[in-house]
Structure 1
Amino acid sequence: MNKRVDIKKIDLTLLVLALVLLAVGFLFTLLIKKVNPVQKKNTVLVFTQWWQDETEAETFSVLKTDFETLNPGVTIQLDNRPYAEILSALRSHEVSPLNSDILGLDPLWFEDLIRQDLLEELDAYNPSENPSPPAVPDQGYGKWGRHLISFTSPLFYNIELLQSAGFDRPPKSRAEILTYARSVTDKSAGQYALALALSPENPRGVYRDLFSWIWASSPAMTREGRPDFSARAITGTLAFLKQLRQEEFLLPGTFTRTDAEKREDFIQGRSAMMIASVADIHVLRERMGESAFGITAIPGESSFGGKPVLGLTGWYLGIPRSSKHKDEAWAFLSFLLEQGAFIAEKAHAVPGSRGNAIDFITGDHLYAKAYDMYTVGETVQEFTGVRRVDEFETLVREQVYALFEKDQSPEETAKHIQQRWEEL
């Protein structure tokens, strides 16, 4: 009888001991977790953009490494694609879209992407994370995208070609451009006054090589979110460009030339002038030398005496609504914004805020001049509120082809552009 009681006491003691050990083990596990929290599973963020090839080598690789060092457990996958491919994928609603977590954006895309509900609204995140205000009003799109850097597009000129023709400064009016063109153009030597790049493969060709001439005379081409080609100055610009073509001052190949080919023509002396991005200063300097070329404001319809008016393009950042890692994506987006000055330098751009000239600009006479034009002049970033703006650019290209090659009048061209866009 006593033996049976003893056995029961032993069983009870062992049970209590087991429970105590289990409780101690549980508390020890909690303590370890508190001291050494379990690491989250590695998060891969896909950053889709067309910018890698437009910056100095390794720029985004350095940024990727720096961010990953600051954020263990997060990996950035750089997805570099051509501009047109990204736009096409977004339009066709590819999965997720593009399986991206952070998107490089052109502000011209906002209207369509917002209508398709593809972008995450960023108002819920800390707005102070965006250290530099946009260079131009964002027309309400800052809610879906943050401005990173900007590029202006001045008129580049070959100093030697102008001097050989008897000119010691760039043209300051359209009348002077025609005068210079007559002296500079030498068809037998394959030398022309101006090159335009309006190839369908050149996504921003119409925006830069046609619209810049219109903006130089300050008329707006949109009204209440719709194109409006009724202004007299627009017809005057079309007449000016038609005259350049009729008198054969334009380098042949306007409608097949890309920006890269236009730049190469300028480098080789086949054209004396071109409108190009400030980013090209770096390439031209490497290929042509320090003092072979200059930049100036694009002359408007009348004699140059007012503020320069320059077209503006920019890089924006957004988060696709389909991203499964929005908080981490916002952290990387904010990091890139903080590195805006570094990115601007490596992309040879201008900063997005007036009064914020960074060192590489103030210490370089050409970039300092570009920045001066930027700060004292007006910048235009039009068509951000126009749906499917690439289709609009296509019909403009087609009508300018008819203007140049089929003897269509400037008035007819402006009228047809307006009519066709309203039909679309």
Structure 2
Amino acid sequence: MVAGAVAALSVVAACGGGEGSPIGNAGGDSTKASDGSVTLEFSQWWEPEMPKGALRGIMDDFEKANPGIKVNLISAPYASTQQQTVAGAASKTLADVVGLDGAWVSDFAKQKAIADLSTLMKDSGYDESQLASQIKVGGETYMIPVVNFVYPMFSNDDLLAKAGVSAPPATRTQFADAAKKVTATGNGAYGWILPLAQDAPNGIQNDVMSWAWASGGSMLKDGKPDVTNAAVTSVVTFIKSLWDAKVIAPGALTMKEQDKVEQFTNGRVGMMIDSLAHINLIRQNNPKLKFSISALPAEDGYTGKRGMPYASWGIGVSDSSPHKAQAFKLVQYLMSTDVNAKLSSIANAFPGNTKSVPDFVKSDAMFKTAFDIWNKGVPANEFTGLPTAEDLMRSFDVQLQETLANGQPVNTSLSNVQADWSSKF
């Protein structure tokens, strides 16, 4: 999840599944009716990743519990929502309630595009002790993680079996071997898929740096960039070896997350790193696909706890919204014990309310596996809350592509990233 966790969003958004509706109200009050009722705009990428009608149903229940407040969902895939939200933040035209990735928060808070939730919680008398986590900037909360997604390894069981691989790989050496064997089976199948589109560079967070975190590595030292260290160097060297072996699916340099999921769902890829949010989507779109999930492979010889990459469906309130109090009522509703349990169950994620328990832990073996992976590991996403996190990912992406496509030495690429990142801290 991310997911995480771990992305950015155009003035045009998909509304009700279609393209072309403007996002946000630019600080106006055109959403207040003559009878005093208000309509909140809620932009997010969640609805396309949930069963049809699920999020709308939760909004309908909220409206029944809160007469006088309506919710208009503005929904689009993650990459589109990312572009829309970035543009909306810059122009102060964000929706009243906005889905957030933790990597965006620092920038949006500094732009004064999103509201200080600490103040809204205090004004409403909200008990924040029930929250599993909060994303803060300067000591104040700007995002609340609603649900959290671990990003495990997905394996196409049939492709691995055809390649003579009996179980998902547990180490990098095993992973490289499995990827080569799957690719060697022919028929257009590839061992691994890696999304590196620079306009949506969250692949650096989810699909690249996650390899370092899985083996206890870090890209930071004392809160500052440290990307030339041995852990990060070994990851980039490893990925380059997979690229050189031609086991990574074609199109990686322009591929986005949704493209990765589509190719895996269509049975073209042996393995991918992905969010739990997509399990039911994969099942729905290809019921015959046999796949499993496992912890990310660790560096050979590593015996410590594995860092588990994760991402959150975070939520915030637009600082330009004329309906902040009503917007926070929606935030409170989504974070309430029963609703948060329902939402996390539908989304196949771990709840943001410490008292909520998702149904899938007992009813679905694959999610039980994910829950076990989560509990055995250590949540890891070092991009969350960093300044200009999107730019940091993009900077790394540019240099990684130079290494993969143009043969730039790994050490040169990482030195360039180190210099660029250091200038942004």
Same fold (TM over 0.5): yes
Asked if 1 retains the 8 angstrom alpha-carbon contact of 2:305 and 2:376, the reply is: yes
Mark the CA change 1:353 to 1:311 in structure 2 (over 3 Å): closer, same or farther.
farther
Question: Higher mean Cα deviation, 222-231 or 176-185?
Answer: 222-231
Mark the CA change 1:141 to 1:340 in structure 2 (over 3 Å): closer, same or farther.
farther
How many residues align? The count is 382
Partner of 2:20: none
Partner of 1:150: 148
- How far the C-alpha of 1:147 sits from its partner, in A, is 2.0
Partner of 2:203: 205
Mark the CA change 1:181 to 1:146 in structure 2 (over 3 Å): closer, same or farther.
closer
Instruction: Flag the structure with larger Rg.
Output: 1
Mark the CA change 1:261 to 1:114 in structure 2 (over 3 Å): closer, same or farther.
closer
Quick one: distance in 2 between partners of 1:279 and 1:127? Answer: 28
Q: Within the alignment, does 1:116 sit opposite 2:111 as a pair?
A: yes
Partner of 1:403: 403
- How far the C-alpha of 1:285 sits from its partner, in A, is 2.5
Partner of 2:391: 391
Partner of 1:373: 373
Quick one: distance in 2 between partners of 1:406 and 1:261? Answer: 23
Q: For residue 202 of structure 2, what is the amino acid of its counterpart? A: R
- How far the C-alpha of 1:142 sits from its partner, in A, is 6.4
Partner of 1:362: 362
Question: Higher mean Cα deviation, 222-231 or 202-211?
Answer: 222-231
Structure 1, residues 200-249: CA drift from partner, whole Å, max 9, x if none?
34452221111111211222213455432032111011111111111112
Q: For residue 193 of structure 2, what is the amino acid of its counterpart? A: A
1:299-314 mapped onto 2 (5 Å cutoff): 299-303=297-301, 305-314=303-312
Q: Within the alignment, does 1:163 sit opposite 2:161 as a pair?
A: yes
Asked if 2 retains the 8 angstrom alpha-carbon contact of 1:157 and 1:273, the reply is: yes
- Find the residue that maps to 1:300 and give its secondary structure: coil
| TM-score normalized with structure 1 length | 0.83
Partner of 2:127: 128
Quick one: distance in 2 between partners of 1:142 and 1:275? Answer: 32
Alignment gaps of 5+ in structure 1: 1-38
Partner of 1:104: 99
Mark the CA change 1:283 to 1:119 in structure 2 (over 3 Å): closer, same or farther.
closer
Q: Within the alignment, does 1:344 sit opposite 2:326 as a pair?
A: no
Partner of 2:3: none
- Find the residue that maps to 1:133 and give its secondary structure: coil
Q: For residue 411 of structure 1, what is the amino acid of its counterpart? A: N
Alignment gaps of 5+ in structure 2: 1-33
Asked if 2 retains the 8 angstrom alpha-carbon contact of 1:130 and 1:334, the reply is: no
Question: Higher mean Cα deviation, 231-240 or 401-410?
Answer: 401-410
- Find the residue that maps to 1:294 and give its secondary structure: strand
Asked if 1 retains the 8 angstrom alpha-carbon contact of 2:102 and 2:385, the reply is: no
Partner of 1:214: 212
Q: For residue 232 of structure 1, what is the amino acid of its counterpart? A: A
Asked if 2 retains the 8 angstrom alpha-carbon contact of 1:110 and 1:141, the reply is: no
Mark the CA change 1:397 to 1:56 in structure 2 (over 3 Å): closer, same or farther.
same
Structure 1, residues 308-347: CA drift from partner, whole Å, max 9, x if none?
3221110122222222222222212101112212222222
Q: State the Cα RMSD in Å.
A: 2.5
Q: For residue 263 of structure 1, what is the amino acid of its counterpart? A: V
Quick one: distance in 2 between partners of 1:121 and 1:148? Answer: 17
Quick one: distance in 1 between partners of 2:229 and 2:387? Answer: 21
- How far the C-alpha of 1:194 sits from its partner, in A, is 0.8
Structure 1, residues 268-324: CA drift from partner, whole Å, max 9, x if none?
332211111112221222344477111111112224643232211101222222222
Asked if 2 retains the 8 angstrom alpha-carbon contact of 1:219 and 1:231, the reply is: no
Q: For residue 150 of structure 2, what is the amino acid of its counterpart? A: T
- How far the C-alpha of 1:417 sits from its partner, in A, is 0.9
- Find the residue that maps to 1:113 and give its secondary structure: helix
Structure 1, residues 157-200: CA drift from partner, whole Å, max 9, x if none?
11122222222211111111122233222274222211111123
- Find the residue that maps to 1:92 and give its secondary structure: helix
Q: Within the alignment, does 1:414 sit opposite 2:409 as a pair?
A: no
Structure 1, residues 347-370: CA drift from partner, whole Å, max 9, x if none?
222223678542123210100000
Asked if 1 retains the 8 angstrom alpha-carbon contact of 2:193 and 2:271, the reply is: yes
| TM-score normalized with structure 2 length | 0.82
More strand by share: 2
Quick one: distance in 2 between partners of 1:57 and 1:77? Answer: 16
Quick one: distance in 1 between partners of 2:346 and 2:112? Answer: 32
- How far the C-alpha of 1:265 sits from its partner, in A, is 2.1
- How far the C-alpha of 1:49 sits from its partner, in A, is 2.1
Structure 1, residues 37-68: CA drift from partner, whole Å, max 9, x if none?
xx961222222222221222122322222222
- Find the residue that maps to 1:282 and give its secondary structure: helix
